[in-house]
Structure 1
Amino acid sequence: MKTKTVTNFLKVTFLFSLAFASLTSFAQEAEEEKWFDNFSISGSVDGYYRYNIGAPNDNSVAPGTSFANESGFALGMANTIIGYEGEKVGFVADLVFGQRGEDAVFNSDDSAQIVNQLYVYWNVSEKVKFTFGNFNTFLGYEVISPTGNFNYSTSYMFSYGPFSHTGLKADFTLSDKWSAMLAVMNPTDFTENNPYDTYIVGVQLGYTGDSGSAFLNFRYGNEGEPGEVGPTFQADLTTGWDIVDDFYLGVNATYLSTEDQGDGDASGFYGVALYPQYKTSEKFTLGLRGEFFAQYNGGLVSIDGTELSSPIAFDDEGDGDVIAVTLTGSYDVGNLTLKPEFRIDSSDDAFVDNDLEVTSSLSSFVLGAIYKF
């Protein structure tokens, strides 16, 4: 009897354990199927202090690049990215609030002043992905969000290249290391609609290895009213490699040309920048951006024929160049990153000193503070 009782007890215990395990497994599976589990929220908040050395600090004098151009204490932006990643489909809603965000979406109407990116995507297979909507540009080394750049201030090539596109792109995985992208888009930075009934074609070929990556990018198309503005062609190379464990080198080179609709020569700009970075410790990295940027035949002119903010000096033929050297430190305190930065811009007679006399260089100091969540 004792043996039978023990056997029955073991059977009951085993069945109870099996039932409990099944219920636990079912509960866990039910938990995994909650609709909000695939949602994510991320973003950043940033601000900065900028001071001109030997030049006025009244917002009239600043490097001719985007975003960090206000004097004294200034606001960057609050960036909130809401995403949904399903098994095959998903979306991204990238919203920006503040001065940096407004500058980034300058061609948007008031209704979309907070939209940095807004797109849906479909993973057709493991090798093909379609994206439809408004997305940041695939050209260049730098991006709009300060969390994606090492330097807090931005380069001339980034500032005068495209910021964002609206259209349809297809990404292809060619192999473990090679990728490609094809896109059809509105004219550059017209993210809400197409005012000209012209389109831009984008192409990218990418290589990603164990120690770095390289991307060759192209865009071609008419950026303005047909008959008033000729087609624009841009070629851009972005690459970066870990030379040794603590030393990284990035390179960006670009060339842009816009055809003249009359008998004149094409106009545009070109440049190259090096981004060496040395990690001194787990929390601190020191980096340099050395950039040469030039325009030819009045290349930095808007589509309606008016001059832009004259970022560099140019001669009567519309030719000119600038050299900008930016030394940046990056110190991490948890999710907060502090970026002290010293920058020198040099272009013939493009700046003024404290006596309002024309000078060929501008020195400035920036302290950026970025919190990432």
Structure 2
Amino acid sequence: MRISKLAMIAMIACGMNAANAFGDQATDISQVSFCAAESCDCGEPVCGCEPMAPSCDSGSCDSGCDSAGCLDMGCLDMGCLGGECCLGDPWELFGSTDSGWSAGGWMQLGYHSNAIPLFNNRPDEVQLQQAWLYAEKAIDTSCGFDIGGRIDYLYGTDAQNTQAFGIDNNHWDNGWDNGSTDNGYGHAMPQLYAEAGYGDLSVKAGHFYTIIGWEVVQATGNFFYSHAYTMNNSEPFTHTGALATYNVNDNITAYGGYVLGWDSGFEDNGDAFLGGLSVGLSDDLTVTYASVGGVFQNNRAGGTDNYVKGYMQSIVADLALSDNLQYIFQTDYLTAEDRVGGTVAETFDINQYLIYTVSDCWAFGGRFEWYNEEGIYSAVGDSADIYALTLGANYKPHANVIVRPEIRWDWDSDEVAGLDGDSQTTFGIDSIFTF
């Protein structure tokens, strides 16, 4: 790995000017609320103490109230981009009840002008990438023991990338394709797990998303439409096994568990440890370390010995530079070998994100990635550097709608990544409708 290039990457990122997620992988992108009033609660959460919604009588809305909450004038006073930005509450299919059950989903339609690895690999066509449904019973351990769980279903062109493809035997959801694999559309069930907890400790068991990295599979959890190379190629998407979460204190959360390899269904595809530590170093900075080590893949589907063992780690630092500006730094490392110790892949990357939130309706961001790889696009024994710069925006015209246009520049050192020559420029845009 050519670590000497770190200085160059830092210089590029500083000149850009232009979020992690565990369980259901919902990335926390901090956006300042300009219109919604502060919630009125009763202090620290305790058993039987439920938060109360703000009302006009409470005096929470300084700019005045109507039946929906703050008046539009409140937004104008705050200088929202384009004028009014009072989105109100989004409509939900089945909001959380007193029992903790909820259900919902989203529809994602997208277009991009060039192929990008994995998720955005069907250029020049409008496609349904994610038609998503979920049902969940969130656990509440403030009163003691509780039990819950979650199930997710996905249809679209992203489904084949989130199936249990770690074992190529069409078990679990790996064969749920709509026609041939060239058609692109398919079905997936990326999560199906039960969760139990008591106090500060909870354990989930079943099929669930990884805790590795900052970008996630769900379209609703990412700022950008496209994905980073490292998320596509060097991180697992799902695991099957058991994972414990322990809140050590208000600033430290620990994770640890056993999983059956990478991206497999309910059958043995290896034996690996999955764990990590998230530490709030200050009110503005959180650092998360997550790793998986052991056997990632162990099957003989199709008469081929598909055995991979190794170690993979991700370190993510999330820093609030101001009330409006968020900076994320991520570095991943992967080393993988075959059964006899030969190198399968080795990668190292640095991803940097800068996100500026103007209002509840508008945010702008930039992402710069340096991806050094061996065995992913280049041959084992060689290595190549791949770079990608993405600039984009998030626009919410409605509480249930988000539009994400972006422009992306990719280039590589050895013409290995399947780009248009050694570089390409890609325009992409998608819309997400939540319910």
Normalized against structure 2, the TM-score is what? 0.66
Cα pair 2:112 2:120 within 8 Å, conserved: no
Distance 1:126 1:263 in 2: 43
Cα pair 1:67 1:103 within 8 Å, conserved: no
Distance 1:263 1:368 in 2: 43
Map of 1:318 onto structure 2: 382
Distance 2:148 2:432 in 1: 28
Shift of 1:120: 0.5
Q: How many residues align?
A: 310
- Equivalent of 2:296, from 220, 223, 245? 223
AA partner of residue 396 (structure 2): D
Shift of 1:38: 2.9
Distance 1:257 1:37, change over 3 A: same
Map of 1:148 onto structure 2: 221
The alignment partner of 2:116 has SS state of coil
Cα pair 1:47 1:369 within 8 Å, conserved: yes
Find out whether 1:346 has 2:418 as its counterpart.
no
Find out whether 1:76 has 2:129 as its counterpart.
yes
Distance 1:77 1:158 in 2: 18
- Equivalent of 2:190, from 116, 124, 133? 116
More strand by share: 1
Distance 1:351 1:103 in 2: 18
Cα pair 1:331 1:338 within 8 Å, conserved: yes
Map of 1:328 onto structure 2: 392
Map of 1:182 onto structure 2: 256
The alignment partner of 1:162 has SS state of coil
Cα pair 2:336 2:343 within 8 Å, conserved: no
C-alpha offsets along residues 214-246 of structure 1, whole Å, 9 cap, x if unaligned? 210111111233887452101111221211111
Cα pair 1:288 1:328 within 8 Å, conserved: yes
The alignment partner of 1:318 has SS state of coil
Shift of 1:111: 6.0
Map of 1:11 onto structure 2: none
Alignment gaps of 5+ in structure 2: 1-96, 141-145, 166-172, 178-186, 300-304
- Equivalent of 1:337, from 402, 415, 418? 402
Distance 1:69 1:212 in 2: 37
The aligned runs of 1:142-221 (5 Å cut-off) are 142-160=215-233, 161-194=235-268, 196=269, 198-208=270-280, 209-221=282-294
More helix by share: 1
Shift of 1:73: 1.2
Shift of 1:184: 0.2
AA partner of residue 215 (structure 2): E
Distance 2:344 2:285 in 1: 35
- Equivalent of 2:360, from 275, 279, 282? 282
Distance 1:316 1:76 in 2: 33
Distance 2:417 2:336 in 1: 27
Distance 1:86 1:120 in 2: 10
Distance 1:228 1:274 in 2: 33
Shift of 1:68: 5.5
Distance 1:228 1:68, change over 3 A: closer
Distance 1:92 1:263, change over 3 A: closer
The alignment partner of 2:421 has SS state of strand
AA partner of residue 219 (structure 2): P
The alignment partner of 2:160 has SS state of helix
- Equivalent of 2:337, from 259, 262, 269? 259
Shift of 1:89: 0.3
Shift of 1:66: 2.6
Distance 2:207 2:228 in 1: 23
Shift of 1:70: 3.2
Distance 2:100 2:277 in 1: 30
Distance 2:337 2:188 in 1: 33
Distance 1:329 1:232 in 2: 37
Cα RMSD (Å): 2.5
Map of 1:4 onto structure 2: none
- Equivalent of 1:97, from 151, 155, 162? 155
* Deviates most, 107-116 or 340-349: 107-116
The alignment partner of 1:366 has SS state of strand
AA partner of residue 271 (structure 2): Y
Q: Percent identity?
A: 21
Map of 1:22 onto structure 2: none
- Equivalent of 1:133, from 183, 206, 213? 206
Normalized against structure 1, the TM-score is what? 0.77
Find out whether 1:369 has 2:435 as its counterpart.
no
Distance 1:170 1:73, change over 3 A: same
Larger radius of gyration: 1
Distance 1:86 1:255 in 2: 33
